[in-house]
Structures are given as structure tokens and as C-alpha cells.
Structure 1
Amino acid sequence: MTTVTAPAATHQPYRRRWAALAVILAAEVMDLLDALVTTIAAPSIREDLGGSASLVQWLGAGYTLAMAVGLITGGRLGDLFGRRRMFVLGAFGFTATSLLCGLAAGPEMLVAGRVLQGLFGAVMIPQGLGLIREMFPPEEIGKAFGLFGPVIATSSVGGPILAGWLVDADLFGTGWRMIFLINLPVGLAAAVAGMRLLPELRLSNATRLDLVGVLLVSVAGFLLVFPLIQGQELGWPAWTFASMVASLAVFAAFGAHESRRARSGKDPLVTPSLFRKRAFTGGLVAGLAFFSGLIGLSLVFTLYTQVGLGFSPLKAGLTGLPQAVGGVIGFGLAMSGLQEKLGRGLLQIGTGVMALGAGVLGLTIHLAGLDVGPWQLAPGLALVGIGMGLTMAPFFDIVLAGVDEHESGSASGTLTAIQQLGAALGTAMLGTLLFDLLARRWSFGSAMQVTVWVEIGLLALTFALSFLLPRRARPDPSGH
């Protein structure tokens, strides 16, 4: 049962609840942009601050790994202490850590700032989604959630271009630092507006946090990602492999702890019964493979364009525009009725189109060499984007159709965390592969082609695992 400590959410005045939605969307944009911008700015950051090649990977992986761990508990914090309070705390914290990143004097300080950004983002983002469900009456909630699609699409298109422009423009002599400093006015405005516009909601029966579970999953994630990023530079000593094996043991310990907690009548972070469902476990592994390849390829491609081809940050951002536009097209096609008509088949078509696009991209790089230009790369990137949109649009709904209604909240949070963990793993694995090949004196073009083949392999794995998923998404009883 939900306890409301402000006027009933659905009784909020019409303008007030839509103004509150604008605040939530502004926070979503900050998170989406900060997940994208360091990929474009990474070469400039390393040139300015120094640091090893692994800095490029940690800028993305530190943020997404912290986000993955934090998202598991972010929603629960809102249940316990109030969604408005946690949203405002997250927004202020995200703004403060953006300032910390913008003022970073060295690579260690910047990576630490990125980790803190991810943690505060994980506190802020889940509150907005929960508040929307409470603020809007049934006849408006579909429209409210429908605005997230255009916001995500616009951010994915504009984020890399904005980052490239800010780095090249060198506003007030700040260079790459402006990609973080631009969050200050947006974050402060979101926090202040949140205090005035958002209702205070919390669950009267919310249980205490599972701190042991949080610690176990955090340690397991770190033990896996850290050696993947640092191993190549250190020559792959024995402890890196021991760490990865230990991460699996800690993940197993996390699962056992969650099962014990559920049997004792306490709320687990992740409902253990989910892992006894073939559709859900298949969806988790498929999501891990898909998002690892998608985000890892984006990082490697950006390094290829800037370091290998010598493109400026802005030109690199514009070069990736066909993929972002293709993603918008793919989402649009899915939402036009294909998702309901094809169900799981749309996801399979999407992975096939993505694999075709990656193959075209690899072939273009092979044939054109270092003389390749943005227009030659555009067809392959556009196909990757269209396939991405077709795959992502039905993914979450299809996987969640394989769980029971009372498990859907835990399943949704776990899938979102897996998306972020996949991003961290992809950044670690494909980035490390690229740097390892370059260290062996491979050309940038040849190394890029190898990573493209790895991406195709991950897409093939996603395609194969999709047969474990339900054929159709569960109908929405609300009609939206």
C-alpha cells in the first residue's frame, strides 16, 4: 500500500503534474547524455590529463557499473525515505559530482567522479518512473510514458554531437570539461523544481535495505570488470584470471544470500524465483550479450575515428549520426505496429539487421583503409542503428512476459541493471581487445574489423537465446 504524504498524486492539478514530468525528463536527459558524452571526449581527456589507455574504458565503465549496482537499490530507497526526497538528493548529488568531474585535476579524480555520478544517477532515475505512475490518472499515464521515446531518441542523436561541439568549441577555455559543467544549471534547476513540484510518496510497508546483498553484488561486479580493463596493460598476471573466477563465486554467494533472505520472509534485492524461469534467465544473458556488443562497439568506433582516422571530436560525433538516426527509425517502425504483429520475431529481425550493418561496416573499413570518410561509413552505421531500434523496442516487454505479475517489479529492475552491467562489460572487453591488438602492432583498421566480428558473434548469441523468450509481450490491461 502506498502512503502519500502530500495531496493525492492523481489529484494534482493538470499543469502541475505535467510540469513535474518535465522535471523528471530533464533528469533523464542528464543521465542519458552523461552515459554517451565521454565516449566522444575520451581521447581529448586523456591528452589533457594523461593516464593510461585504460582511462578511456574507466570513464564509461565506472559510470555504468556504479549505475548497475545502484539501480538495484535506488527504487527501494524511494520506497523507504520518499521518492521526492531521493529524487532531489540524487539530482543535487549528480550536479555536485558533475562539478567534481569538470574540475578533475587527474585521471583518478575524474574516474572517482564518474563512479559517484553513476551512484547518484541510480538514486535519481528510478524515483521519476515511480512518481509518474502515481501522479497521472490512467487515461494520461500512457501519454506521459510515451514522451520518454522521443526524449531518448533526441538524446541519442544529439548527445555525441553536443559532446563533440563542446570539446571543439573550447568555451571559456574549458575544453572537454564543459561536457560535465553543462550539467550544473540543468541539475540545479531539476533539483529546485523537484522540491516544489513533485509529490512526496513512499510505501508504508517498505522493508529495510539488503545491505549484505548490495555489498556482494558490488564486489562481484568489480572483481569481473577491473581485471578485464587492467589486465592488458599489466600483461595478464595470474591474479586477473583469479579475480574473474572469484567474481563468479561471489555472484553465486549473492544468489544464495537472496534465496535465504526470501525464505526468511524478508524482501530480497532480486526475487530468486526469477532465475528458475527459462525465459527470464535467457533474457538476462541475451541482454548482457546485446548491450555489451552495442556499447563496446560504440567506444571502439569512436577511438577508430578520432585516433585512427584523425577526426576531430565534432566530426567523430557527426560520423556516428547515421546510427543514431537509424535507431530512431527502428524505434518508429517497431512502434507503428510491428511490435504487436511480430512479437519475438521483431527482436530476431533486429539482431539480423544489426549483424548485416556491422558486416557492411567491417567490409567498408577493409576496402577503404585509412582513406574512408563519413559518407562511406554511413550505410553500415545506419543499418546497425535500425537493427538496434528494432531489437530494443520489444526486448524488455518480451522478457517480462515470461515472469509472473508479482515478480515484474524485481524483474524490470534486474533487466535495467543488466543493461548497465552489459555496457560496463562491453566497454571493458572490446576496449581491451582493441588496445591489445594495437599493442601487437595491428593497424587500427584491422583491429576495428576484429571487434566488428566479435560484435557479430554477440549478436548471433542474442539471436540464438531469443528462442527461449515468450513469443509475445503480455497485453497491457490499462490499454496503453
Structure 2
Amino acid sequence: MSDHAATPRFWAPISVLLCGAFVVALDNFIVNVAIPHLKTDFGASYASVQLIVVAYGLAFGMTLITGGRLGDLYGRKRTFLLGLGGFTLASLVCGLAPSPAILIVARLLQGATGAVLHPQIVAMLRVQIAPARRRFAFALYGSALGLGAIAGQLLGGALVDWDLWGLGWRLVFLVNLPVGLVALPLAGLLLEETPRLGRVRFDLVGTLLAAATLGAVLTPLIVGREAGWPLWTWALLAASVPLGIGFVRWEQELTWLGRAPLVDFRLLKAPAFVPGLILAATFYTTLNSFYMALTMLQQLGLGATAFATGMVFLPLGICFLVGTLAAIRVGGRRTLDLGLGLTLVGYALLASLGSVAGADWHPDALVPGLAILGLGQGLFLTPLLNVVLTRVPAVDAGSAAGILATAQQAGGALGIAIIGLLFFGALDGGADGFRHGFELAARYAFGASILCFVLLRRLGASQRRAAPLGETELA
């Protein structure tokens, strides 16, 4: 479907799409606050609990590009329904899991089906929303992702502590069921199917090579620190290089033959796409990892309950919503600059808590920094996706969305590895060690945000070279 054929309808389709985006982001974070309860209920080892947490992100990152291409080939509405139905079913299995092993497998299924669902959301926003309202639609999408991340901490903590019907931690997975059961029939009624690429063979070899490459990179990054970086983690990282080269060569060969590759590397020639990928990946190194450090500080370092831990995120969540609403109304380059600037200020305040409030600072000292951080992230993340994808051809929107989301997930995994080394390396068995580890995590995030400023300048330069005066998204 071309841009000019985009449907004028807005709220009906976008409401369903945003529900999908929200639950995918929610489940990437909601399990964090349930870690102590999972461990106690199952009598599981710490390593098993960590696998429960990271299995979702690992499967999600490995399957995203494939999910995007499935939508291009077989129709995005059909693929959206398949992903949402599978995600809802996997959530039910997670909530009923009788053992850590089954829960880990169910989390892998959750991540894989979420990766089938997620790229269709971005692609349908790109091709089904009228151009005049597309920036607004992407702003709503960015806010749904951010609010899903924040709500994961707040809602997860509340559900675990309330222990409704004696289900405890199981509710953090079962909460997806009503969303899925309502959204599935609505999606069937309200979404329009997109044109398919025609009779083409699915790139099975490319899919396997992509999954192997991403798995070889993400598995050591996510699991390596907890496992003590054994030899197999380094062997996997080394193997990712020839696997990646093989994947690129195979995809290029399919392109030359006129067949449909999993990833058309001509997408990398789209104006601002590559700088946008790097910017998004760099910014995402600071999100999941920093929230993880904050959660660990509260529960394991300061002995807070799951609900109290979730409430710490409240000022961040409220200010994120304010920033999102402001970005929707204003948008443009100044919004991105202001958002990154406030993000830097927030991280700077959190990184200097020991110097300003003393080594034994109270959790209340987090509030100003978290509030400013939430405002900055809301202003920045809301317009970012539209800027990165704006000049990608509509027919390749699914693949581009999968590549972008994969870059974000890989960035998140890298951030967890980096901040995990800093945070856990600072622990000394007491609360002071947790505080120091948290400050180190904030210092890394501050440095990464400075790099994002440089990348944002590069992105703006790429947009200006590609567009006539007045047409650039960063104007």
C-alpha cells in the first residue's frame, strides 16, 4: 500500500496496534520485580531465575527480523493476529508453569511471538496511517512503549504484593490474557490487510543464519556475566563473525538473483536509516540496564518490597507521560535536543548522589533525578522512530521495523552486559555497595547519552542532505 493509499481512519486501528506495543514492552520489564518471589516459590537457583528474565529478550532479539519479513510476505494483519494470539497463549503457559524449566521455555515462546507481533505494528503505522497524522501516530507508539516499560515496574510490583487469589508472581504473566482476548477480535475487525510481495519463497537459510548470528552475539551478552564468562561465551562471540559474514553474502546473492531476501541491504541506503539505527541502539543501552540496576538496588540492596520498588518508578513514569504529551504537540529537532539534554541532567543527578547527599543517601534522593530523566526520555523517544523510518519505502516497512527493533534489542543486551559488570562488580555485601553500583550505572548512562548527542547531529545531517529545504523530519 502506498503512502497515498493510507487509510484516513485513525483511532480505530491505532488503538489495537498500541495495545500490542504496550504488552510487548510490558513483558520485557514486568518480571524484574518478581525475581525474589520466583526464586522462593520454585526453590530455584539464581542462574535459573536469571534465565527466566533474559529468555524473553533473547528470543525476541533473535526473531525480530524474521517477524518483520513474515509480514511483508504474507500480510501484516494476518501476521499481527498470529503474533498476538501466540503471545497470549504463551503468557498463559507462563502463568501456569509448574517448574523453572517450563517457565523458561514459555518465556522463549513469549519472546518469539512478541517478535512476530512487534514489527507489524511499526509497519502498519507506516503504511496504514494517513501521512498527515503519521508523526502523531509514531509519537503515540513511542509513548506506548515507554509507558509499557514503566508500567511493568509499577504494575508488576503491585500484582506481586497484592497476591490476588493466591497467584502471586503468576499474575505478572496472566495480566496479558484480558488484553489479548479483547484485542484479537478487535484487530480482526478494525485492521486492514496490506498487500503482499507476491509469490515468493521464504528465505529459510537467511532466517537460520540471522538467528544463529544474533544468538551467538546476544546469548553471551545476556548470560555471560552470570555464568562467569566461561570459554563457550567467547567462542560464541567469535563464531558470530563468520556467521554474520555468511548471512550478508547469502542475502546479497538472493538480491542479485531477484529473489526476496530476509533483509534487503539496499534498505541501508535509505537516508538517515543507518545513523538512526546506531542512535536507537546506543540510547537503548541505557534503558533496560538502568531500570534493572534501580530494581536491584531497591529490592536486594535496600530491602524494599516489590510494590515499594514499583512506586520508585512513579515520578519517572508521570514525567515520561508529560514529556510524551509535549512531544506529540511540538515534535521536531528541538524536542529531540531538549529530550536528550534533560536525560543527561537526570543521569548526572543520579550519578552524583553520593557526593551531594552522602554515601548513605535515602531513596527519596532519587526523585528529582528520576523525574527529570522521565521527562527527557518521553521527549526523546516519542518522535525518534518516525524520524528513523520516515524515508524507508513502504513496501519494506516490515523489514525496516524488524531491523530497527533488533538494533534496539541488541543495544539493550549490550547495556545489560556493561551495566551488569559495573553494578555487580561494585557490590560488597551491604547497602553501600548497591548504592555505589547504581551510581556507576548512572555514570555509564550519562556517557552513552553524550554519544547520542553526537549521533543525533549525524542523523540530522543525513536528513538535510536527502530532503529539499523544509521537508526534513528534523527541521
State the match for 2:443 in structure 1.
Answer: 453
State the 1:88 CA deviation. Answer: 2.6
| Corresponding position: 1:431 with 2:436 | no
Task: Using the TM superposition, name which of 427-436 and 367-376 deviates more.
Answer: 367-376
Deviation at 1:410, TM superposition (A): 4.1
CA drift at 1:24: 3.1
Deviation at 1:314, TM superposition (A): 1.0
Structure 2 residue matching 1:209: 3-state secondary structure: coil
Aligned 8 A contact 1:278 1:468 in 2: no
> What residue is the counterpart of 2:366 in the other structure?
377
Distance in 2 separating the partners of 1:137 and 1:358 = 37
Amino acid across the alignment from 2:453 = F
1:267 has 2:252 as partner: no
Aligned pairs for 1:120-269 within 5 A: 120-131=113-124, 147-148=140-141, 151-152=144-145, 154-203=147-196, 205=198, 207-269=200-262
* 1:279 Cα deviation after fit: 4.4
1:268 alignment partner, SS class = coil
C-alpha distance in 2 between matches for 1:390 and 1:171 = 36
Please tell me the residue identity of whatever aligns with 2:27. Answer: D
How far off its partner does 1:30 sit? 2.0
Cα contact 2:225–2:417 (8 A) shared by 1 = no
Deviation track 1:41-83 (CA, whole Å, cap 9, x = no partner) reads: 2333233334444455544432233223333122332343344
Alpha carbons of structure 1 residues 142 and 304: separation in structure 2 relative to 1, 3 Å: closer
Deviations 1:158-181 (A, max 9, x none): 332111110000011111110111
Q: What's the RMSD between the two structures over aligned residues?
A: 3.5
CA–CA distance in structure 2, aligned partners of residues 30 and 284 of structure 1: 23
Partner of 2:458: 468
**Structure 1 gap segments, 5+ residues each:** 3-7
Question: What's the CA shift for 1:403?
Answer: 6.3
Q: How far apart, CA to CA, are the structure 1 residues paired with 2:58 and 2:363?
A: 31
Distance 1:348 1:258, change over 3 A: farther
392-401 or 306-315: bigger deviation = 392-401
Percent of paired sites with the same residue: 37
Alignment check: 8 A CA contact 1:61 1:424 kept: no
Contact 2:143 2:381 in 1 (8 A): no
Matched to 2:274, the amino acid is T
**Alpha-carbon spacing, 1:341–1:307, altered in 2? closer, same or farther (3 Å):** closer
TM-score (norm 1): 0.84
Structure 1 CA distance for aligned equivalents of residues 386 and 136 of structure 2:
18
* Equivalent in 384, 387, 396 of residue 395 of structure 1: 384
Work out whether residues 73 and 209 of structure 1, in 8 Å CA contact, stay in contact via their aligned partners in 2.
no
Aligned counterpart, 1:418: 407
Alpha-carbon distance change, 402 to 296 in structure 1, aligned in 2, over 3 angstroms: same
Cα distance between partner residues in 2 of 1:292 and 1:418 = 10
CA distance in 2, matches of 1:132, 1:282: 21
CA distance 1:42–1:206, shift in 2 (3 Å): farther
The equivalences for 1:2-401 within 5 A come to 10=7, 19-55=12-48, 57-131=50-124, 147-148=140-141, 151-152=144-145, 154-203=147-196, 205=198, 207-275=200-268, 279-337=272-330, 339-340=331-332, 342=334, 346-365=335-354, 368=357, 372-400=361-389
Conserved? CA contact 1:289–1:462, under 8 Å: yes
Give the Cα separation in 2 of the matches to 1:250 and 1:20. Answer: 39
- Identify if the C-alpha distance between structure 1 residues 172 and 329 changes in structure 2 by more than 3 Å, giving closer, same or farther: same
CA 1:83/1:407 → structure 2, altered by over 3 Å: closer, same or farther? Answer: closer
Alignment TM-score, normalising by the size of structure 2:
0.84
> Unaligned stretches of 5+ in structure 2?
none
Question: How far, CA to CA, are the matches of 1:139 and 1:358 in structure 2?
Answer: 35
Q: 1:277 to 1:181 in 2, by over 3 A?
A: closer
Q: What secondary structure sits across from 1:265 in the alignment? A: coil
**Do the aligned partners of 2:120 and 2:398 also contact (CA within 8 Å) in 1?**
no
- Distance in 1 (alpha carbons) for counterparts of 2:199 and 2:375: 41
Tell me how far apart the structure 2 counterparts of residues 341 and 275 of structure 1 sit (CA, whole Å).
22
Segment of structure 1 superposing worse, 114-123 or 458-467: 458-467
Q: CA deviation at 1:315?
A: 1.0
Conserved 8 A contact 2:94-2:106 = yes
State the alpha-carbon separation in 1 of the partners of residues 399 and 76 from structure 2: 18
| Cα offset, 1:19, TM superposition | 4.7
Residues 392, 309 of structure 1: CA spacing in aligned structure 2 closer, same or farther, 3 A cutoff?
same
- Residues 175 and 437 (structure 1), Cα distance of their counterparts in 2 relative to 1, 3 Å cut: same
Residues 1:462 and 1:22: Cα distance change in structure 2 (over 3 Å): closer
Indicate the residue corresponding to 1:5 in structure 2.
Answer: none
Decide whether the 8 Å contact of 1:213 with 1:258 is kept in 2. yes
For 1:235 and 1:57, locate their aligned partners in 2 and report how far apart those are by CA, in whole Å: 13
- Mapped to 2, the partners of 1:461 and 1:102 lie a distance apart of 40
C-alpha distance in structure 2 between counterparts of 1:81 and 1:466, whole Å: 35
Q: Distance in 1 between matches of 2:193 and 2:228?
A: 52
